Amino acid sequence: MDVIGVVASVVYQFCTNAAFLLLCALGLIIILGMMNIINLAHGELMMMGAYAASASYSRGAPFWLAAIIAFVAVGIFGAVLEATIVRRFYGRELGALVVTWGVSLVLSQGFLLLFGPFMPPIQIPEGNIALGQYSFSYYWISMFLIAALLVAALWWIYNRTDIGLQARATMQNPAMARALGVDTRRIYMMTFTLGAALAGLSGALLAPTTSIMPFMGQQFVAPAFITVVVGGATNVIAGAVGSSLLLSLVKTPVGFFLGAFLGTVALLLAALIIIRLLPDGISAAIQRRLDLRHRMR
């Protein structure tokens, strides 16, 4: 029995699933944590990122460059969206949900009309490591590493930079932050732009796994939302990471034995159970632990 191979394969599956969930959810969670808004156009932003990447890639850009282009392009679009529509709905969470859903409809239908039903696909970058009968693709390994890198970068921004401090203050108490001189409008604008840019980046990164069409955002939306619901808004990074890991723990065995669809169903069931036990998501529970530890010192 190839024990090492089996163990490696399970770990690989787990990391792959976690990376997928994290990439789907990261942009969404950042916006939720800051403005308490769920951006329902998130799937379409990912789609736009994939489109931007596909357009660049088919014109000869290497994959990594196409992904960066997607990051920037969708980020700019996000900034425009925030300035024109989203900022009118701060404090009105349900209204924001509905209006961003309208935007998602216009985007998906609009792209269908503008660019037709398909864009040129991006091939999964070649290469894999073989271990006995198991193969581990470079692509998914690098997805995992990129996801980890993004989390680290975000953690660094939020906890080690001035702007991150201002952002955390705004998250906790916007009125107080404003009173201390923080330009909260700028923070919101930057946060939404970053969230959109990350969505675009994720869309570009995950584009090789699927066909690039106007409704491709849909397949990412369910996992993204579930991850965000389980994570909660209390502590953005802890929520994103904790949720991805926890849900991957559910999805990996179920997906392995019962297939991908039932894996996603298991995610929904897990989410329902978790919110029953922890209504504010696991990030709230993590934050409580951190607070207690702080107090003990």
Shortest separation between residue 34's beta carbon and other proteins, angstroms: 14
Shortest separation between residue 120's beta carbon and other proteins, angstroms: 22
Sign of CA dihedral 98, 104, 107, 113: negative
Neighbours of 88 (CB within 10 A): 11
Please give the distance of CA 46 from its chain centroid, rounded to a whole number.
9
Nearest to 50 by CA among 184, 204, 198: 204
Q: Are 240 and 287 in contact (CB under 8 A)?
A: no
Shortest separation between residue 104's beta carbon and other proteins, angstroms: 8
Shortest separation between residue 105's beta carbon and other proteins, angstroms: 3
Q: What share of the chain is helix, strand, coil (3-state, %, to 5)?
A: 80, 5, 20
Based on CB atoms, which residue is closest to other proteins, 232 or 242?
A: 232
Q: Which two tokens stand for residue 197?
A: 């840019």
Based on CB atoms, which residue is closest to other proteins, 12 or 82?
A: 82
Based on CB atoms, which residue is closest to other proteins, 96 or 146?
A: 96
Shortest separation between residue 144's beta carbon and other proteins, angstroms: 25
Burial class of residue 291, CB neighbours in 10 A (0-12, 13-18, 19+): exposed
Binding positions for other proteins, rule: CB under 8 A: 32, 36-38, 85, 88-89, 91-99, 101-106, 109-110, 113, 215, 218, 221-222, 225-226, 228-229, 232-233, 261, 264-265, 268, 271-273, 275-276, 279-280, 287-288, 291-292, 294-296
Based on CB atoms, which residue is closest to other proteins, 128 or 287?
A: 287
Q: Which two tokens stand for residue 275?
A: 């919110």
Based on CB atoms, which residue is closest to other proteins, 110 or 132?
A: 110
Shortest separation between residue 33's beta carbon and other proteins, angstroms: 12
| Measured distance between the N- and C-terminal CA atoms of the chain, rounded to whole angstroms | 49
Q: Where are the alpha helices (DSSP H) in 116-216?
A: 138-160, 162-172, 174-179, 184-206
Based on CB atoms, which residue is closest to other proteins, 128 or 218?
A: 218
